[in-house]
Amino acid sequence: MEKKNYFQSKEEIKEKSLREMSRRTFLKSTGIAFIAMFALGGAGVLAKGKPLLRPPGGQNEDEFLARCIRCGRCRSICHTSAITAAKITDGIVEARTPTMNYSHGYCDFCKECVEVCPTGALKEFDTDSVKIGTAVVQKDICLAWVKGGCTICSQKCPFDAIRLDENRRPVVDEEKCNGCGVCEYECAAFVLRSYVGGKNRGIVVRPSSSTGGILARLLAPVSGPGGNQG
């Protein structure tokens, strides 16, 4: 049998074996590959985590996730180290995507991250209207709200978005706040309260949009988007 094949021609043997392989196994392997990739994609969509703070220009979350290839150029170029990578605990799809972390720096809207983004996940933005998120006073941690006296955030805010109420406690003007994170970066509560185990800041920037996944949307508590004003 083999002898005969050899005398036919080498090309024929080669083609025959290749064709045999492709016809039967290609469908099978395609099936397996599709199941694996669609399971991964489906799991990612279903397990989409909480909304994250994105670098400026990446506020449309669905658009952002469609384009981000997790190359880390924005994170690397950020001169204030305000951009970090989301962790696996932030969600399967969110893992490794850039997110803001204001404990090491704040955003000065230098646009370097937008410049280096290869896929346009971070889009060119207007500095006056861009909104990374909104600062939210954590009334149980904020020194002024708990004890009084501290006015650091309202002094440091470059956009005059934090005013003091009649008891000299900070209140955020959601219109003016663009989520630059200076207040969170400067907040001293996590240092001054550290002796009681506090490691959180008294004012934290939260994402404005909440386009979570199907699961996140189903599980989301029915409540208004952040009524923080007292």
Stretch that binds another protein, among 6-14, 154-162, 163-171, 186-194 (CB under 8 A): 6-14
Among 16, 79, 168, 217, binds another protein (CB under 8 A): 79
Among 21, 188, 191, 220, binds another protein (CB under 8 A): 21
CB 179 within 8 A of CB 133: yes
Question: Which CB sits closer to another protein, 48 or 169?
Answer: 48
CB 177 within 8 A of CB 161: yes
- Using CA atoms, how far apart are residues 41 and 125, in angstroms rounded to an integer? 30
Among 12, 118, 155, 194, binds another protein (CB under 8 A): 118
- Which two tokens mark 88? 């696996």
Among 112, 173, 174, 186, binds another protein (CB under 8 A): 112
Among 6, 155, 163, 229, binds another protein (CB under 8 A): 6
- Using CA atoms, how far apart are residues 134 and 175, in angstroms rounded to an integer? 9
If one asks whether residue 71 binds another protein (CB under 8 A), the answer comes out as yes
If one asks whether residue 17 binds another protein (CB under 8 A), the answer comes out as yes
If one asks whether residue 212 binds another protein (CB under 8 A), the answer comes out as no
The amino acid sitting at 110 is C
Closest CA to 98 of 111, 83, 110, 80: 83
